[in-house]
Each structure stands twice: as C-alpha cells, then as structure tokens.
C-alpha cells in the first residue's frame, strides 16, 4: 500500500513539531517505521492520508470503546457545538456526568473533572499529600500515570530504592520523593513502608497496567495493597484512566472487589474528547478548593463538548449485554491469536484484561516490567510492520495495550486473524 502522502506530511511536520509528532509513541521509532497520518475514522476502521483503510486496535489509546464517530455521540456533539464550545462557568452537563461517574464508582463520594489523565493523577497525589501531611509516594515500575515530574521516575538497583529522574528536566529533589516498587510483588511495598512508615502519603497503581503491555495483577495483589495502605495510614489511589470502563462498567476495582480511597479516570468518560477526572472519599475531596485549601483549577475543566460526549458514551455502556459483547469479541480475537501461534510454532503470550490485550513475544508469563523488557522487541517490530501491511493498525510499541471496541464485528476479527496468520509465518 502506498503511503507517500503520510511520508510527505511527516517530513513537513519534523520541521515544525519536535520529532514530527505531538506525543512520542506516535513516531513509530520503537518499531522502526514512519508514522501514518490519519485523515478520518468510522466504526472499527481508520483511514490514512493516502486513503488506506486499517482495522484499528489503538482506538485513540482506549477511549473509542463504542468505535469511531459513533452516530449517537456525534449527533449529541453537533447539538452541543451549536450552543457553545466553552463557557468557563458551571453547566448542567457537569452535574449529569458527575452523577453517572459516581454511580459507576461507589468508592467515590465526590469527583472533580480535569482535562487529561496526567492532570487527574497529579492532582490526586497533591490532595493525598495534603490530606496525610506526608510528602513521599509509592508507584510501580512500568505503571504510567502521566508525565508530571514526580511520576517520570525509573527504578533504582533495588525495589525499595528512591527513584532517579527518567527524563532530563526532572529535578532530583522531586524524584527523591518517589519510591519505586515492583508490580505484583507485595513484599517490595511492605519493605518501603516498614522503612518509612510516617513518610508515604499514597500508593498509586494502575487498575490493569497497559503501559508495559497488559499485565494482570496476580490474585491477592490489589487486596494486599489495600490492607497495607490501611495499616500505615496511606491513601490508596487506583489509576483507572485506562481500565475504568475497559474491564467492566465500574472498572478494575469492581472486578477485584476493593474500595480505594481515590480513583483517577480519563479517556472513556469524555467519549474520545480531552478529559480526565479524580475523585474519592468525601472527607478527602472536601480538602480541595474552593471547599478546602488544596488548590487545583482548569479553565476548560468540565468543557461542555467533553461532558456531552461522556454522557452519551456512558449511557450506551450501561445497556444490558454491552460488556458480554465487548469481552466476547476480545476473547474471540485473543483465542485465535493463541491458536495461530501454536500452529505456527511462534513463542508468544497473549495477555488480556477485559477489552485490552497485548501480544508478548516470550515463552514466559509477564508479571512485571522487568519481564516485559525481556520480551523479543525485534520480533514485535516485524510483527507490527507485517500487520500494518495487512491492514491492521496496532499500537507501535510492545509496551502499549491494544483495545477492542464495540464496533469490531466478527468479520473484523476474521480479517485480523488472517493477517496474524500471515504475519506469524516464518516469524
């Protein structure tokens, strides 16, 4: 398939935008290719600037759970645009969407809307620090919570070491407030808390990590975090920006049957428009301005376009049978990939969580970031480029989750598996 127009646009973009893209993973550097420039999308497909069609499993990195340009969402947006795109003042739409979110997540007594997942996690951590009077946080290597300074941290030589900056421009003093633990290893968290029982404000963890590829929490891990955080008076934050409506209506916390102190959301609750949210127990959230002293603000927070798209999306997701269909489609795809891998003698593991999945090229179970880094990245790159030529658009990185939508039909899965079969041949 020809991509001359995309390549021409990329060369032009490189002179105007750092790296030619506005988010690093889009550059295709991890897979040795050049990015496609997308012109339009509909249902399960996206179309590039050269007119090529692809079955899309990126879904704008998760939020297009209904599929692209869903008729009900776009119609609601058109009506909203005619009334005004932004007011900088409260609207009834904010109240309606807040009610839907709190209904879906009973662990939250109140919620505050922001404009991105990064804003949500950053604000939740600030609030947790103020609530506890402590400064340090615990995160897990391989879990991504946005690009704010305190969260761009890589692990040191041991699980309980304080982090070092993972990016130039992050002051060492800020990095020193972040402890790194090992995902799926409760002992790594316990050691940190035992060493610093009065210093840790919060533990933040993804509900189902998707930024080291999909890695499911092992049995008892999330429950163990809840026990430890209560024991040491630490705020337990579940980052469900990705998992919030991908595992079920109510997120990973509903699946694990646990109640975090705070929850971060994004992506899906805006129907694909820029949005995020953080919420939690009322006694914590009331510390937030203007009710309390902890400052957080956003000129476009609660933007009416994002609110109306989110309301329409959540109302559709609430309908009976929605998740049975979504998870059933995901299982059909993942089961098919596993069957082909076995038949083609390709060593891989297909990890899935709800409607999220990753194909890891390894013969071992991936349970944390160190395991993910040991996978065959060269083989993934070949697989990605072969699938792209076969008309299937996957995340251009081994370390990113892929997403199935309600718009993916059986014919899409059949075509995808045919592409997998060709891509695995000789791999």
Catalytic residues: 144, 239, 267
- Whether residue 325 contacts residue 316, with contact meaning beta carbons closer than 8 Å, is answered with no
3-state secondary structure the chain: CCCHHHHHHHHHHHHHCHHHCCCHHHHCHHHCCCCCCEEEEEECEEEECCCCEEEECCCCCCCCCCCECCHHHHHHHHHHHHHCCCCCCCCHHHHHHHHHHHHHCCCCCEEEEECCHHHHHHHHHHHHHHHHCCCEEEEECCCCCCCCHHHCEECCCCCCCECEECCCCCCHHHHCCEEEECCCCHHHHHHHHHHCCCCEEEEEEECCCCCCCCCCCCCCHHHHHHHHHHHCCCEEEEECCCCCCCCCCCHHHHHHCCCCCEEEEEHHHHCCCCCEEEEECHHHHCCECCCCCECCCCCCCCCHHHHHHHHHHHHHHCCCCHHHHHHHHHHHHHHHHHHHHHHHCCCCEEEEECCEEEEECCCCCCCCHHHHHCCCHHHHHHHHHHHHHCCEECCCCCCCCEECCCCCCHHHHHHHHHHHHHHHCCC
- Whether residue 391 contacts residue 419, with contact meaning beta carbons closer than 8 Å, is answered with yes
**Do β-strands 235-239 and 262-266 pair in parallel, antiparallel, or remain unpaired?**
parallel
Farthest CA pair distance, the chain: 62
């Amino acid at each position: 398939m020809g991509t001359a127009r995309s390549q021409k646009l990329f060369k032009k973009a490189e002179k105007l935008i750092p790296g030619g893209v506005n988010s690093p993973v889009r550059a295709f550097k991890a897979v040795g290719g050049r990015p496609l420039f997308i012109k339009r999308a509909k249902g399960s497909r996206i179309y590039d600037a050269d007119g090529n069609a692809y079955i899309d499993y990126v879904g704008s990195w998760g939020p297009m759970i209904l599929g692209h340009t869903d008729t009900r969402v776009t119609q609601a947006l058109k009506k909203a645009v005619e009334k005004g795109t932004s007011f900088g003042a409260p609207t009834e739409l904010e109240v309606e969407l807040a009610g839907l979110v709190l209904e879906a997540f009973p662990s939250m007594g109140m919620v505050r809307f922001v404009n991105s997942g990064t804003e949500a996690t950053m604000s939740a951590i600030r609030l947790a620090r103020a609530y506890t009077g402590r400064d340090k946080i615990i995160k897990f290597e391989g879990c991504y919570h946005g690009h704010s300074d305190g969260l761009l941290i890589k692990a040191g030589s041991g699980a309980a070491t304080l982090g070092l900056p993972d990016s130039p421009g992050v002051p060492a003093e800020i990095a020193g407030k972040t402890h790194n633990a090992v995902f799926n290893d409760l002992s790594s968290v316990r050691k940190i808390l035992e060493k610093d029982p009065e210093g840790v404000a919060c533990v933040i963890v993804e509900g189902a990590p998707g930024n080291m590829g999909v890695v499911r929490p092992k049995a008892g891990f999330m429950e163990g975090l809840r026990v430890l955080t209560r024991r040491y008076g630490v705020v337990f934050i579940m980052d469900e920006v990705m998992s919030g409506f991908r595992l079920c209506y109510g997120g990973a916390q509903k699946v694990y049957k646990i109640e975090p102190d705070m929850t971060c959301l994004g992506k899906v609750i805006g129907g694909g428009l820029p949005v995020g949210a953080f919420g939690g127990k009322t006694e914590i959230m009331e510390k937030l301005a203007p009710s309390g002293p902890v400052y957080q603000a956003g000129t476009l927070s609660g933007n009416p376009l994002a609110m109306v798209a989110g309301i329409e999306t959540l109302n559709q997701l609430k309908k009976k049978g929605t998740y049975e269909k979504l998870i059933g489609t995901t299982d059909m795809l993942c089961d098919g990939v596993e069957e082909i891998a076995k038949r083609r003698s390709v060593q891989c593991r297909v990890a899935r969580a709800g409607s999220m999945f990753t194909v890891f090229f390894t013969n071992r179970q991936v349970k944390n970031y160190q395991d993910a880094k040991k996978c065959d990245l060269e083989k993934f790159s070949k697989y990605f480029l072969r699938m792209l030529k076969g008309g299937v658009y996957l995340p251009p990185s081994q370390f990113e989750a892929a997403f199935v939508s309600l718009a993916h039909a059986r014919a899409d899965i059949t075509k995808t598996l045919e592409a997998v079969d060709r891509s695995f041949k000789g791999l």
